[in-house]
Amino acid sequence: MNTLVKHRLFWPVTMLVVLLLSNLIFTPTFFKVEVRDGHLYGSLIDIVRFGAPLIMVALGMTLVIATGGIDLSVGSVVAICGALACWRISEQGDQNSVSGVLVAVALALGLALLLGAWNGFLVAVVGIQPIIATLILMVAGRGLAQLITDGQIITINSSPYKLIGGGYLFTVPFAILIALAVTALAVLLTRRTALGMLIESVGGNAEASRLAGIHSRRITLMAYIVAGLCAGVAGLMISSNVSSADGNNAGLWYELDAILAVVIGGTSLAGGRFSIAGTVVGALLIQTLTTTIYTTGIPPETTLLFKALVVTIVCLVQSPAFRAKVFQGRRRPAPPPAGPTSATAEKVEVPA
């Protein structure tokens, strides 16, 4: 049992289960999953479906944080890619053209790769601090998204594009399948090859890794490119789900939710060891918390405060130092072993 408690996923999974069970108080049918018109429906399905974009962003953020960096621009990349794809589709004569939608998706993902490479170039090659380098794109990128949309909300009516975030395949939401595929690929590349060890090495000590023959700059650059690509896919999911692009609000504060998901999952902000499974659990926990807020009818003006409170509790509970102070501090110290009294000591005869 002690080994289980010390596992890095124990507390995140426990808090996720507790949060899910608490919804039964307000929604008795919360765990009910049914098939309607050949599609899976239910609160659990909605949590995973709406959490898929956050899972995508958090996966990319995991690799960046594992290298000892941070990416504050992922929310802006989400907005840019969704805006570019919707703008390209809105300019087509036939918005239901599959080839036209594929071109729009390719352009958006290509731009996401370039934006990720830009962040990686500033961090790995130029040597700018990650928080400053990505803050540049965080601010400028939001303006670029609004420039693409001309400050308006672009609405489209494209069935092929709708499939990405709001469609179904084999009764399962297509967004869930994308998130599962990307997660499986990330696990395969980082745990079945040497890539994961190289990333952890760079995050632990980039200079020592370089001296050991590891191309630390390439690893760092790759991490930011992957983060940009994952954010681009998330942008396509979000915009296709609502069939519109909002350069101002799309992906807003997604970078903070992604960082929280990574930290809750057990990855250290100092870099080094990381957990893909923990990140997925953390993203699902945050999405479950958002769903719980809406389900319980918490006033909108207190939503962010309630969310921050719960996340704080989760982080404290999974902290070994905090648990040691709270739970072990209550235990009374064991009394010292009883030694011989002075009277008894006087009776002890010393052998000749």
Closest CA to 80 of 175, 167, 3, 154: 154
Report the C-alpha gap between 128 and 147 in whole angstroms. Answer: 27
pLDDT of residue 300: 67
pTM (2 d.p.):
0.87
Provide CB contacts within 8 A for 215, sequence distance 6+: none
Averaged pLDDT, 106-132: 96
pLDDT of residue 339: 55
Residues of the chain above pLDDT 70, percent: 91
Q: Which two tokens stand for residue 61?
A: 């953020």
**Which of 12-16, 23-27, 195-199, 316-320: highest mean pLDDT?**
195-199
Q: How far are the Cα atoms of 40, 176, 219 from residue 73, in angstroms, in the given order?
A: 34, 24, 19
Return the CATH number of the domain spanning residue range 55-305: 1.10.3470
pLDDT of residue 314: 74
pLDDT of residue 116: 97
Report the C-alpha gap between 275 and 319 in whole angstroms. Answer: 16
Which of 182-186, 268-272, 275-279 has the weakest average pLDDT?
A: 268-272
| pLDDT single digits (tens) 121-173 | 999 999 999 999 999 999 999 999 999 999 899 999 999 999 999 999 989 99
Q: Which two tokens stand for residue 330?
A: 């209550």
The whole-chain average pLDDT of the chain stands at 88
Spans of all domains in the chain:
55-305
| pLDDT single digits (tens) 295-308 | 877 776 777 787 77
